[in-house]
Amino acid sequence: MLTRVLAGLRTRWVTFAGSFVALALGTGLVAATGLALAATLDAPERGPERFAAAPVVVKGADTLRVATPNGVRTRPLARPRPVPPALVARLAALGPTVEDRTFPVAFPSGGGPYAETEVVGHPWSISAATPYRLTSGRAPSAADEIVAATGPDSSVRPGDRLLVLFPGATGPDATGPGLTARGATGPDATGPGLTARGATGPDATGPGLTARGATAPDATVPDATAPGSAGRSVTVVGTVAASGFETALFFTDAEAARISPPVDAVVVHADPGAVTAEVDAAARADGRQWQQGSGDGQSADEPRPSVLTGDARRRADPDPDRDKEALASVNALLGTAAGITAFVSAAVVASTFSFAVAQRRREFGLLRTAGATPGQIRRTVYAEAALVGVLASAAGCGWGRAAAPRLAAWMVDRGIAPAWFATGDRTWPLHLAFWTGLAVAVAGSAVSAHRAGRTGPTQALREAAVDDGTMPLLRWVLATLVVGTGIGLLVTALVFDPGQLLKRKTFLTQPMVLIAGCALLAPALVPPAVRLLTLLPAELPGACGLLARENASSAVRRTAAVAAPVLITVALAAVLMGTTGTLAEAKESEALTRTSAEFVVTAEDEQRPLPKEFVDRATGIPGARVSASRSTGVTVLEEGVALVSYEAAAVDPDAFAAVSALPVAAGFLAALDDDGIVVTQEWLTTKVGERVTVRLGDGREASLRIAAVLRTGTGDHGVLLSARNAAGAPVDRLDITVAPGADRTAVVAALRAAGRATGTEVTTARAWATAHHPRTRETTRLGLLMVLAIALLCTGIALVNTLVMATSDRSRDFAVLRLAGATTGQVLRIVAVEALVVVGVGAVLGALVAAIDLGTGWGALALLGVRTGVVVPWAVLGAVLGSASLIAVVAAVLPAAWALRGRPVEAVGGRE
């Protein structure tokens, strides 16, 4: 058996060379993407950065924990709480403490030396617990002095003057009578996160000690900002080396407390056990039940501060989960790339083996005539596939391992992956790739082996090149099942859950089923597609178009083998790029239809809200209708086991109604009040008037009445609350329109002037929608292009392999044309036109699949109430078809030119 297999491989090496290359390429790509994917499973272990020198850190509550029958469920709070002032005082009794405050710093002039850099402020005393050390100058000692973090290219030096402002920071004159607005609410003004500024008495924390947190019901003012926030001039008196986790400016402790009174964390120089005991004692003294951070399943009303020691101090770093978050999109992209690579490789190998077996009908017929049994023929095909699979998979793993670091470097250079991303030394992706390649080779040859075993002895006498029996019953059944499954999945989702079709995992993977089914049906679809494409060329003068049509129609297996990879690549390009483009356009269109405002002003992010002076000036412009909204969040325990978080916006219902046009499915937006909530159709409870229990952004539990229900749309839309339930969130968006009868020119001029004075960008609603809902993110576009490049590479290999095999067996056909009077150039033109026709067949079939999928997505958007067009990626499709056409023509013409070198009489007289 082995001798016969090796002999077959040696004599028909052209047939197996393409399969070897295609399989090695696919295996290598799976290995490379697998190694890169393995590196995303675990973010690098980082120790504490900001508080590396702190023995114990007590951090404000930032996690919601709820006990369920299936264990404790956790979610991060949308609005983390500060450390309660009463607890700050208790901790101070244990030993030396340092209070940390973090607040955003902005620059009205556009950033100056910190252009396009997020800058935060801290008190100088906290630097002792951090990596920051003076590199020049001295520590700040006055309110208008700072120490600046500088990098290698920074131009900031001691003595420089900077104009700064503090958007969203809290201050003594910003919130009414001595009360701030961040944290929990409570009627007695003594709950966690709540104190009186400068007050003394039973619940006070000492003279001059200020607490943040929500206040009594009539005292909450969510948008606290320090006085003079339009800009203050400060002097740089010292510098520290910049860190990799933030860009910081340091103020005196008193000035930092004035700018932002809430205490975000406390560094405690004391025994960790004593600190934990004090936190527990503070909870008991407060009279409230704080959540237990140990995860023991004890549910409670109030989140508790965290006591952090050792590596756990990293939880107090800025964005401690940034490594995992950075890898999330990389993981999704590489997983998609690996899946598509395996899918395309399997399809290409199966198509190649099928065509190779079809070419060997006479050979198998001769073996049957010599006494070979069907089982022996099948085992021969399986053995050939296994041997090619072993060699190709081993080779693919070798080059995949070498290519993985280059793939990771490319992703870093393009901004797809974080700068530290690199492949590790894991080996399991190589084992997975090897056995996947071998399985693909054997599985891809299964149908071909079955067909080879059914070859009868009479096949040895066949000379005709016309294919018959290209769609046996088994293939018809399999193709029907796969196509039916693909269409069924689309229709089911369209009828019962249209939003499911808009999710990334669905529109990236579900089309594969329909593509595979269409590829199985290719032999049945080829003849009508060929007739359609050659309808006009066949009628033109000359025999070139007619012969190309007849050759492509008669050699169905060859045409299907070439068209299948083109079908896959065209369908993938249209579906992936078209769906993402359509969704992006739909989101932009939806954003415009949901607001009737002429201008929309938004903050960079919710940690850097709009400057209060701009908000005050904008709301005070005569003739301007302004709606201010605050980003927060709510969390719901669904069905008693799932803790689900939703984004939320807190608005004033009357002002919001003047500038919004939301798609209301039930109820009325005007019914929103402090006791109400507006939800979307995604919620389990959507009956207007019913009450839902939610956790607000700071963890407080609230029972709210559903005032209205919004249509789901493209998804990712939050709920609406009143400003009272914003959990202290500052204003981060303004929707502005000109009132009827007002002087529009004056209103716009005043609005622009307010923006220039406070360093705030004022944009029209359309410009805002375009900027915040780009057609396709650059990283997403690059990732999809990488996936398509992989598919195109596999397609190129398949085209070259199939066409070289087919052309090498057509020497007699070319010789007959030569003897009939055709010149060498005419024969080559016929071959080239035929190659283009076959590529066109694949493009038509791929377009059919894409039309079904994109049409279903468009229908889902329409059912969800979003009106938009279908984005067709013409440029990408043109590049794919141009590349495939060029490869096909070259791969067909060059072997034909080689075959035409000899005398036609010799080719006709010789044997195949």
* pLDDT given at position 200: 33
The answer for residues whose C-beta is within 8 angstroms of residue 883's C-beta and 6 or more apart is 792, 796
- Supply φ then ψ for residue 807, to 5 degrees: -70, -35
Residue in 315, 276, 283, 312 with CA at minimum distance from that of residue 300: 283
Q: Which two tokens stand for residue 677?
A: 């909530």
CA 679 to chain centre: 25
Report mean pLDDT in 10-residue bins for the chain, 912 residues. 58 66 82 86 77 90 82 84 90 92 79 75 93 92 92 78 74 32 33 33 34 32 37 89 87 93 92 89 64 40 82 84 74 78 74 70 73 78 83 90 88 80 85 87 72 63 51 81 89 84 77 85 85 75 73 78 86 88 84 86 75 88 91 87 87 87 87 91 87 89 92 78 86 91 91 85 86 66 79 80 74 77 84 88 91 89 83 90 91 85 61 44
* pLDDT given at position 707: 93
Cβ atoms of 780 and 773 closer than 8 Å: no
Neighbours of 294 (CB within 10 A): 10
Residue in 710, 668, 658 with CA at minimum distance from that of residue 866: 710
How far apart CA 910 and CA 30 sit, in angstroms, is 44
Only one residue has tokens 């927060």, namely 632
* pLDDT given at position 209: 32
Full-model pTM: 0.71
Cβ atoms of 486 and 501 closer than 8 Å: no
Q: Is 886 helix (H, G, I), strand (E, B) or coil?
A: helix
How far apart CA 638 and CA 280 sit, in angstroms, is 30
Residue in 244, 78, 11 with CA at minimum distance from that of residue 718: 78
* pLDDT given at position 468: 53
* Radius of gyration over every alpha carbon of the chain, rounded to an integer in angstroms: 35
Only one residue has tokens 């590049």, namely 879
How far apart CA 808 and CA 812 sit, in angstroms, is 10
* pLDDT given at position 7: 59
Q: Show the CA angle centred on residue 617, arms to residues 613 and 622, nearest 5°.
A: 170
Cβ atoms of 224 and 181 closer than 8 Å: yes
Would you put residue 355 in left (φ > 0), alpha (ψ -120 to 50) or beta? alpha
Q: Which two tokens stand for residue 620?
A: 């005070």
Only one residue has tokens 């056995």, namely 435
**What residues does 602 pair with on adjacent strands?**
733
Q: Which two tokens stand for residue 644?
A: 């689900």
Helix (H) or strand (E) segment spanning residue 496 = helix 473-496
In the β-sheet with 56-59, what is the strand arrangement from edge to edge? 97-100, 265-268, 56-59, 306-308
How far apart CA 659 and CA 628 sit, in angstroms, is 10
Backbone CA torsion sign across 875, 877, 880, 882: negative
For the chain, give percent helix, strand, coil, nearest 5. Answer: 50, 15, 35
How far apart CA 123 and CA 203 sit, in angstroms, is 26
How far apart CA 192 and CA 200 sit, in angstroms, is 17
Label residue 130 exposed, middle or buried (CB < 10 Å: 0-12, 13-18, 19+).
Answer: buried
* pLDDT given at position 408: 87
How far apart CA 121 and CA 200 sit, in angstroms, is 29
Q: How far is CA 488 from CA 158, 438, 506, 510, 519, in A?
A: 69, 31, 14, 11, 17
DSSP state of 417: S
For 272, half-sphere exposure in the C-beta direction (CA atoms, 13 angstrom radius) is 11
How far apart CA 67 and CA 69 sit, in angstroms, is 7
Q: Which two tokens stand for residue 505?
A: 């995992």
- Amino acid (1-letter code) at residue 625: R
Helix (H) or strand (E) segment spanning residue 30 = helix 13-40
* pLDDT given at position 464: 43
For 506, half-sphere exposure in the C-beta direction (CA atoms, 13 angstrom radius) is 19
B/e letters for 663-674, b = 16+ CB within 10 Å, e = fewer, are beebbebeebee
Neighbours of 702 (CB within 10 A): 17
Label residue 285 exposed, middle or buried (CB < 10 Å: 0-12, 13-18, 19+).
Answer: exposed
Residue in 851, 845, 842 with CA at minimum distance from that of residue 885: 842
Cβ atoms of 738 and 708 closer than 8 Å: no
Helix (H) or strand (E) segment spanning residue 753 = helix 744-758
